[in-house]
Amino acid sequence: MTALLVVLGVPAGAALVLAFIANWRLAAWLNVAASAATFIAAAALFTAERPAPGHLLLVDDFNIYLIALTAFVALTTAIFSASYIAHEIQRQRLTSRLLRFYHAMYQAFIGSMLMALSADNLGLMWVAVEAATLSTALMVSLYRTPAAIEAAWKYFILCGVGIALALFGTMLMYLAAQPALGEGMAAVTWSTLLAHAANFDPALLNVAFVFLLVGYGTKVGLAPLHAWLPDAHAEGPTPISAVLSGLLLNVALYAVLRFKMLLAANPQALAPGPLMIGMGLLSLSLSALMLYRRRDIKRLFAYSSIEHMGIAAFAFGMGGPLANFAGLLHMTMHSLVKAAIFFTVGHIAQVKGSQRIADITGLTTSHPALGWSLVAGVVAIAGLPPFGVFTSEFLVVSSTFARQPALALPVAVGLLVCFGALLLRLHHLAFGPSSPNAAGSHAVPTLSLVPIWLHLALALVAGIYLPAPLVAWFQSVARLLG
C-alpha cells in the first residue's frame, strides 16, 4: 500500500514544488529525480503487499504492468525532455516562465495517469482521465503558435465531449449494477462490480458500454474519433508527443478494457468484440491510407499511433487468450518504440530546424547516431523482425487467421500498406544527400540518446526472447480479460 501511495504522491508533490521553481535547469533535473522516484516505487509494487480491494485504489495483475510501464516511460521522457528544452530555450521558442508551467503540468499529467490506472472506483478513474486531458491540453498549446492553439482547442473540445459521454456511460453502469449491488459506493467499485457482473441488467450494461467505448475511445484515438490526435502530436512539444502516444492512449484503452471485462462476465450482455474489431479495423485502414500523404514528420508518426491503437483494439476485440496476449504485448511494444521514435524525431527537428519531411534527408550521413536510431525505430514500428512489434503483430494476424480468416485479410493488407508508407518515408529521411542543418545546430548530447537506445534495446530483447515468467504472467492477464 505504501509503495502505491508513493507512486501517486510523488508526482502530485513534485507538480506543486515545480510550479514554484523558476530556474529551468534545476526544474528539469528535479523532474527527472521525481520521475525516477516514481519509477522505483512502481517497481517496488511487484513485491509489495497489494491493498485490500474495495477501497479507492486497486493493484492487480492487469494494471501493475501498465503502472510500471507508465512510470518507466515517464522517467526516460523526463531525461529526454531535459536536453530537448535546453535547446528550445537556446532557440528562444520557450521562456523560463513557460517551462515552470510545463514541468508542473508534466508531473500532474503523469500523476493523473497513474491515478487512472490504479483507481478501483469508476468515478475516481473518470476524474483522473479528465485531469490528464486538461493537463495535456495545456501543454499542447505551450508554443502559443496559432497552429498549437488550434490543436489544443480541437483536442479540448473533442475530448471534452468524449469525456462527458463517458460520464453518462458511467452513470448507466451504476444503474445496471443496482439490481445486484444496491445503492452506494459498492456499485461504482471495480472489484465488487467484477464479482457481481453476472447479475447486472444486461440491456443497461450494453448501452453503458457503447457510451463508454465512444467516450474513452475518443481518447484512444480510434477512428472515426481520432481527429484531435495528429494535431495534438504535431503542434505540442515533442516530449509531450512521446507521452501522449506512449502512455495516454494506453491508459484510455485500459479504461475501455476494464469495462469490457464487465461485459464479458455477464452472459446475457452483448459481445463487445465486434464493436472493437470494427473500430480497430477502421483505424488501421484509415491511418494506412493517411500515412502516404503526410508532409510533417510528427504527423506521420501520430498517424502510425492511430494504426497501432487500432491493431491493439482489434486484438482485444477478437478476445481469447492468444489475441489478448498479443494485444497486451502490442500495447507495451508500441509504447516503448513510439516513445523512442518521438525522442529521435525531437532531436532531428531541432538539428534541422524544421518538421517538414521535405527539409530532412540523408540523416545517416549528417547525424549517424540519430539517423540510425531513426532507422532502427521505424524498422521496429513497421513490424519487421527481430523487434517485439513483429512478434505481437504476427500473433494478432495468426490468431485471427486461425479463427476468422476473412478478418485476417484486411488486417494483413492494412499492415502491409502502413509498412510500405513508413519505409518509403524512411528512405527519404535517412538516406541520400544530407539536407542543410539549422543555423546554430548543435551536437546531440549522448545522454539524451540513452533513452532511445534503452527503449529500442528492450523492444529488441522482447522480440528475440520473452522470459518464461513474463509470458506466464501475460497469459494470466490475457485470461483475466476474457
One-letter amino acid of 482: G
Q: Which is nearer to other proteins, 76 or 118 (CB)?
A: 118
By CB under 8 A, residue 89 contacts other proteins: no
Query: Of the candidates 168, 292, 401, 473, which one interacts with other proteins according to CB under 8 A?
Result: 168
Binding track over 169-198 against other proteins, x by CB under 8 A: -xx--xx---x--xxxx--x----------
By CB under 8 A, residue 29 contacts other proteins: no
Q: Which is nearer to other proteins, 153 or 372 (CB)?
A: 153
Query: Of the candidates 87, 299, 425, 455, which one interacts with other proteins according to CB under 8 A?
Result: 299
Query: Of the candidates 9, 53, 54, 160, which one interacts with other proteins according to CB under 8 A?
Result: 160
Nearest to 326 by CA among 382, 414, 395, 254: 395
Instruction: Report, in Å, the least distance between residue 417 CB and other proteins.
Output: 20
Mention every residue, 6+ apart, whose C-beta is less than 8 A from residue 5.
Answer: none
**Considering only 27-35, 128-136, 368-376, 417-425, which stretch makes contact with other proteins by CB under 8 A?**
128-136
By CB under 8 A, residue 126 contacts other proteins: yes
Instruction: Report, in Å, the least distance between residue 444 CB and other proteins.
Output: 24
Query: Of the candidates 88, 201, 307, 393, which one interacts with other proteins according to CB under 8 A?
Result: 201
By CB under 8 A, residue 326 contacts other proteins: no
By CB under 8 A, residue 165 contacts other proteins: yes
CA distance to 28, 51, 53, per residue, from 57 (Å): 30, 7, 7
By CB under 8 A, residue 203 contacts other proteins: yes
Mention every residue, 6+ apart, whose C-beta is less than 8 A from residue 123.
Answer: 170, 188
Instruction: Report, in Å, the least distance between residue 295 CB and other proteins.
Output: 5
Say how many residues touch other proteins, by CB under 8 A.
48
Determine the angle formed by the axes of helices 24-44 and 2-18, rounding to 10 degrees: 170
Contact call for residues 408 and 400 (beta carbons, < 8 A): yes
DSSP 184-213: SGGGGBHHHHHHHGGGS-HHHHHHHHHHHH
Cell of 313: 483494439
By CB under 8 A, residue 202 contacts other proteins: no
Instruction: Report, in Å, the least distance between residue 438 CB and other proteins.
Output: 16
Rounded to 5 degrees, φ, ψ at 299 are -65, -40
CA distance to 18, 182, 203, 340, per residue, from 44 (Å): 25, 36, 41, 25
Q: Which is nearer to other proteins, 205 or 411 (CB)?
A: 205
Binding track over 267-296 against other proteins, x by CB under 8 A: ---------------------------xxx
Binding track over 337-376 against other proteins, x by CB under 8 A: ------------------xx-x------------------
Mention every residue, 6+ apart, whose C-beta is less than 8 A from residue 312.
Answer: 253, 280, 327, 330, 331, 334
Contact call for residues 129 and 163 (beta carbons, < 8 A): yes
Q: Which is nearer to other proteins, 65 or 211 (CB)?
A: 211
Tell me 221's DSSP state: T
Nearest to 324 by CA among 467, 224, 461, 473: 473
By CB under 8 A, residue 120 contacts other proteins: no
Burial class (CB in 10 A: 0-12, 13-18, 19+), 45: buried
By CB under 8 A, residue 423 contacts other proteins: no
Tell me 156's DSSP state: H
- ω into 386 cis (within 30 of 0): yes
The CA distance from 199 to 275, in Å, is 23
By CB under 8 A, residue 229 contacts other proteins: no
Binding track over 132-151 against other proteins, x by CB under 8 A: --x--xx--x--x-xx-xx-
The CA distance from 379 to 284, in Å, is 18
By CB under 8 A, residue 303 contacts other proteins: no
Instruction: Report, in Å, the least distance between residue 287 CB and other proteins.
Output: 15
Instruction: Report, in Å, the least distance between residue 103 CB and other proteins.
Output: 18
Handedness of CA 107, 120, 2, 474 (dihedral sign): negative
One-letter amino acid of 327: G
Query: Of the candidates 36, 207, 261, 384, which one interacts with other proteins according to CB under 8 A?
Result: 207
Residues that bind other proteins (CB under 8 A): 121-124, 126-127, 130-131, 134, 137-138, 141, 144, 146-147, 149-150, 152-153, 156-157, 160-161, 164-165, 167-168, 170-171, 174-175, 179, 182-185, 188, 201, 203-204, 207, 294-296, 299, 355-356, 358
